[in-house]
Amino acid sequence: MRDDLMVQQQVDNVWQHMVGVICLNQTGRKKVKKILPEFFKKFPTPEQIFESDRDTIAEILKDLGMKNVRAHRIWRMTEEYLKWDGEDATKLFGIGKYGSDSYEIFYKNRIPDNVQDKELIRYIREEHGNYERET
Protein backbone atom coordinates (compact mmCIF):
# COMPACT_ATOMS: atom_id res chain seq x y z
CA MET A 1 0.00 0.00 0.00
CA ARG A 2 1.15 3.50 -0.76
CA ASP A 3 2.30 5.52 2.22
CA ASP A 4 1.01 8.83 0.83
CA LEU A 5 -2.62 7.67 0.69
CA MET A 6 -5.03 6.80 3.47
CA VAL A 7 -5.94 3.13 3.92
CA GLN A 8 -9.49 4.03 2.88
CA GLN A 9 -8.20 5.19 -0.50
CA GLN A 10 -6.54 1.83 -1.19
CA VAL A 11 -9.24 -0.77 -0.60
CA ASP A 12 -11.55 -2.29 -3.18
CA ASN A 13 -14.93 -2.25 -1.46
CA VAL A 14 -16.91 -1.24 1.62
CA TRP A 15 -16.23 -4.47 3.51
CA GLN A 16 -12.47 -4.03 3.07
CA HIS A 17 -12.91 -0.44 4.20
CA MET A 18 -14.56 -1.60 7.43
CA VAL A 19 -11.84 -4.20 8.03
CA GLY A 20 -9.29 -1.40 7.59
CA VAL A 21 -11.16 0.77 10.09
CA ILE A 22 -11.09 -2.02 12.69
CA CYS A 23 -7.37 -2.55 12.09
CA LEU A 24 -6.66 1.17 12.44
CA ASN A 25 -8.24 1.30 15.90
CA GLN A 26 -5.42 2.21 18.32
CA THR A 27 -2.78 1.35 15.70
CA GLY A 28 -0.64 3.42 13.37
CA ARG A 29 -1.46 3.36 9.69
CA LYS A 30 2.03 2.19 8.66
CA LYS A 31 1.59 -1.09 10.56
CA VAL A 32 -1.90 -1.54 9.14
CA LYS A 33 -0.71 -0.91 5.60
CA LYS A 34 1.84 -3.72 6.00
CA ILE A 35 -0.69 -6.41 6.95
CA LEU A 36 -3.76 -5.50 4.88
CA PRO A 37 -2.41 -6.73 1.52
CA GLU A 38 -1.79 -10.20 3.01
CA PHE A 39 -5.17 -10.14 4.77
CA PHE A 40 -7.07 -9.21 1.60
CA LYS A 41 -5.13 -11.71 -0.47
CA LYS A 42 -6.36 -14.46 1.85
CA PHE A 43 -9.82 -12.90 2.38
CA PRO A 44 -10.77 -10.76 -0.65
CA THR A 45 -14.51 -11.02 0.12
CA PRO A 46 -16.53 -11.14 3.33
CA GLU A 47 -17.81 -14.64 2.61
CA GLN A 48 -14.27 -16.00 2.59
CA ILE A 49 -13.79 -15.03 6.24
CA PHE A 50 -16.16 -17.85 7.18
CA GLU A 51 -14.10 -20.40 5.26
CA SER A 52 -11.43 -19.81 7.90
CA ASP A 53 -11.43 -19.47 11.68
CA ARG A 54 -10.71 -16.70 14.16
CA ASP A 55 -7.32 -18.14 15.12
CA THR A 56 -6.11 -17.91 11.51
CA ILE A 57 -7.42 -14.35 11.25
CA ALA A 58 -5.73 -13.44 14.55
CA GLU A 59 -2.41 -14.84 13.33
CA ILE A 60 -2.45 -12.53 10.29
CA LEU A 61 -3.27 -9.58 12.57
CA LYS A 62 -0.70 -10.38 15.28
CA ASP A 63 1.70 -7.54 14.39
CA LEU A 64 -1.05 -4.99 15.10
CA GLY A 65 -1.56 -6.08 18.71
CA MET A 66 -4.88 -7.12 20.22
CA LYS A 67 -5.03 -9.86 17.59
CA ASN A 68 -7.85 -11.84 19.21
CA VAL A 69 -9.95 -8.72 19.82
CA ARG A 70 -9.48 -7.58 16.22
CA ALA A 71 -10.23 -11.05 14.83
CA HIS A 72 -13.44 -11.17 16.89
CA ARG A 73 -14.48 -7.68 15.74
CA ILE A 74 -13.81 -8.48 12.08
CA TRP A 75 -15.74 -11.76 12.36
CA ARG A 76 -18.75 -10.13 14.04
CA MET A 77 -18.68 -7.08 11.77
CA THR A 78 -18.63 -9.40 8.74
CA GLU A 79 -21.64 -11.35 10.01
CA GLU A 80 -23.57 -8.10 10.33
CA TYR A 81 -22.18 -6.64 7.11
CA LEU A 82 -23.71 -9.44 5.05
CA LYS A 83 -27.18 -8.38 6.32
CA TRP A 84 -26.52 -4.62 6.55
CA ASP A 85 -28.62 -2.12 4.60
CA GLY A 86 -25.63 0.15 3.86
CA GLU A 87 -26.99 3.10 5.78
CA ASP A 88 -25.67 3.67 9.32
CA ALA A 89 -22.17 2.19 9.63
CA THR A 90 -22.30 2.38 13.43
CA LYS A 91 -24.84 -0.47 13.27
CA LEU A 92 -21.92 -2.75 12.34
CA PHE A 93 -20.09 -4.40 15.24
CA GLY A 94 -16.80 -2.62 16.01
CA ILE A 95 -17.53 0.45 13.87
CA GLY A 96 -17.78 3.76 15.73
CA LYS A 97 -17.76 7.43 14.80
CA TYR A 98 -14.45 7.32 12.93
CA GLY A 99 -15.58 4.37 10.82
CA SER A 100 -18.95 5.95 10.19
CA ASP A 101 -17.43 9.31 9.24
CA SER A 102 -14.95 7.58 6.96
CA TYR A 103 -17.72 5.55 5.27
CA GLU A 104 -19.79 8.71 4.73
CA ILE A 105 -16.82 10.51 3.17
CA PHE A 106 -15.45 7.74 0.95
CA TYR A 107 -18.60 5.84 -0.05
CA LYS A 108 -21.52 8.22 0.30
CA ASN A 109 -19.63 11.33 -0.76
CA ARG A 110 -20.98 13.26 2.22
CA ILE A 111 -19.10 15.21 4.86
CA PRO A 112 -20.58 14.33 8.25
CA ASP A 113 -21.06 16.82 11.05
CA ASN A 114 -18.28 17.26 13.58
CA VAL A 115 -15.52 15.10 12.07
CA GLN A 116 -12.85 14.74 14.76
CA ASP A 117 -10.14 12.57 13.19
CA LYS A 118 -7.20 14.68 12.02
CA GLU A 119 -6.46 12.50 8.98
CA LEU A 120 -10.08 12.64 7.82
CA ILE A 121 -10.08 16.42 8.34
CA ARG A 122 -6.86 16.71 6.31
CA TYR A 123 -8.41 14.64 3.51
CA ILE A 124 -11.60 16.76 3.53
CA ARG A 125 -9.56 19.97 3.33
CA GLU A 126 -7.44 18.61 0.47
CA GLU A 127 -10.44 17.36 -1.51
CA HIS A 128 -13.13 19.89 -0.63
CA GLY A 129 -11.37 23.03 0.53
CA ASN A 130 -11.70 24.70 3.89
CA TYR A 131 -13.30 22.66 6.67
CA GLU A 132 -13.81 23.81 10.23
CA ARG A 133 -14.71 21.15 12.74
CA GLU A 134 -17.10 21.88 15.54
CA THR A 135 -15.63 22.01 19.02
Give catalytic residues, as residue numbers: 117
**Please, are residues 123 and 6 in contact by the beta-carbon 8 Å criterion?**
yes
Query: Closest by alpha carbon to 95, among 42, 10, 17, 28?
Result: 17
Exposed, middle or buried, 126 (CB in 10 Å: 0-12/13-18/19+)? exposed
Alpha-carbon distance of 88 to 101, in angstroms, equals 10
Alpha-carbon distance of 79 to 94, in angstroms, equals 12
Q: What is the dihedral of CA 38, 116, 74, 10, to 10 degrees?
A: -30
